[in-house]
Structure formats: C-alpha cells, structure tokens
C-alpha cells in the first residue's frame, strides 16, 4: 500500500469548484455529493486549511467578451444562464462561504485562466490544493492540468467530484488524474490532516 504524503494545513487550500445552484441542480441525486463536500469543508475548517470557492458567473461585459469560436462558452453566453447575481449562479446554500473564505469568480472552465487565484494563493504561501467540483470533466480536469503546470501539490477528492457521464468520471479519476495528483476521498482527507496535526 502506498503511503500518502501528509498535508500541511498552513500551506493548503480546499477548492470547492462550481458548487452553484444551477449546476448542482443539473445532477441527479446531488444531495449526497453536497453533503460530502460540506463534510470536507468542515474538516478543512477544523484543520485551518484555507477554503476557496470557485464560481462561474457572467456580467454583461464578460458575456459580451466570449467569442463565437469558443464552442462551449459561446453557447452559454447566448443565454442568461449563470448571470452574476442571479439565483442559479449563487453557491449552493448548504455550502455557504464563511467570512474568511475566498470566493473567486471565473468566466471560463478552469479556476486559473480568468482569475487572480494564483496570486491570492501565493500571497498566502499555499502550495497544495485539494480539489472538489462539478464537473469532473470540466472544472476539475482543467484545474488539475493547469495547477500541475503551476507546480502545486494536488489532491483530488474523488467522492466530492461528479460528472453527468459516469464513464468519463471514472476514467479521469482512475487513469488521468493519478498522473498529476493523489486521488483520495473525504475520509482520507480527515486522516491526512489529523496526521499532520499530530506531528
């Protein structure tokens, strides 16, 4: 059995990505997923891990800046879906951010490309990311690949990610993400952080 590296809570951030009302509601049986994400968030809070919410939302200007050649986002931009301030763009009420949490708004798939996330993490001395989100083939995939290129130590919470295509979800977790991240579940997170606290 491979020994998992410990997680230094002072240098880690839990990224809860795209847990927004309009996205969560698009998944079948999302309650269990949100419950697990909320439990992971409580574990992170107890350990002193920085919690970061990544959300996608569009102002009128951001929507107008999406070019027609962007296949997926041009389709979103042509609707009023995920308008900043609208109910479907709000973070799920069961995962409401606390005052010390960071909330970062993006206008593309990954957490880094259209945000100042890297600068905010660097300012806090964070070099380890724990990722959870919807969808596994969307924000999680894009953020894993980008974060690996930024040299972060990465953990993916498998039971706190979801995708509408279960085969793609499994393939990413079992075959792709393991090349760049430690794929764990929320129970492992508690053990890794408890182990760090005991040192």
Residue in this structure with the two tokens 């430690």, named with its chain if needed: 182
Q: Residue 56: what pLDDT? A: 96
- Using CA atoms, how far apart are residues 31 and 23, in angstroms rounded to an integer? 13
Please report the pLDDT score of residue 179 as a whole number.
96
Query: Residue with structure tokens 């931009």?
Result: 77
Question: CA–CA distance from 67 to each of 63, 72, 75 (Å)?
Answer: 9, 10, 10
For 162-179, what is the mean pLDDT? 96
Mean pLDDT of the chain: 93
34-59 pLDDT per residue, tens = 999 999 999 999 999 999 999 999 99
Residue 190 confidence (pLDDT): 87
Assess whether pLDDT exceeds 80 at residue 101: yes
Q: How far apart are CA 119 and CA 112, in angstroms?
A: 10
Q: Has residue 2 got a pLDDT over 60?
A: no
pLDDT band at 108 (very low <50, low <70, confident <90, very high): very high
Host H or E run for residue 142: helix 141-149
Tell whether the model's pLDDT for residue 114 goes beyond 60.
yes
- Looking at the predicted structure, is the pLDDT value of residue 28 above 80? yes
Q: What is the model's pLDDT at position 1? A: 44
pLDDT in tens, 185-196: 999 998 898 766
The residue ranges of DSSP E strands in the chain, in sequence order, are: 12-17, 50-56, 102-106, 128-134, 153-162, 182-184
Q: pTM for this structure? A: 0.94
Q: Please, how many CA atoms are within 13 Å of residue 118, restricted to the half-sphere of its CB? A: 12
Considering the candidates 18, 101, 159, 163, report the single residue annotated as catalytic: 18
Instruction: Tell whether the model's pLDDT for residue 116 goes beyond 80.
Output: yes
Q: What average pLDDT score do residues 152-181 get?
A: 97
Domains of the chain: 9-198 (3.40.50.850)
Q: Is 92 a catalytic residue?
A: no
User: Which whole number is the average pLDDT over 155-159?
Assistant: 98
Compute the average pLDDT of residues 60-83.
89
């Amino acid at each position: 059995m491979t020994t998992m590296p410990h997680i230094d809570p002072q240098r880690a951030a839990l990224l809860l990505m795209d847990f927004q009302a309009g996205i969560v509601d698009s998944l079948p049986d999302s309650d269990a997923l949100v419950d697990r994400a909320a439990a992971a968030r409580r574990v992170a809070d107890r350990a002193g891990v920085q919690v970061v919410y990544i959300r996608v939302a569009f102002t009128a200007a951001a929507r107008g800046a999406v070019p027609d050649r962007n296949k997926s986002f041009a389709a979103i931009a042509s609707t009023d879906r995920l308008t900043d301030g609208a109910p479907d763009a709000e973070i799920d009420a069961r995962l409401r951010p606390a005052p010390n949490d960071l909330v970062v708004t993006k206008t593309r798939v990954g957490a880094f490309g259209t945000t100042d996330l890297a600068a905010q993490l660097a300012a806090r001395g964070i070099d380890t990311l724990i990722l959870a989100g919807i969808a596994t083939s969307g924000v999680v995939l894009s953020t894993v690949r980008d974060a690996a290129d930024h040299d972060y130590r990465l953990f993916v919470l498998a039971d706190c990610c979801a995708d509408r295509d279960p085969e793609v979800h499994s393939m990413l977790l079992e075959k792709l993400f393991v090349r760049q991240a430690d794929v764990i579940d929320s129970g492992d997170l508690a053990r890794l952080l408890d182990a760090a606290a005991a040192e």
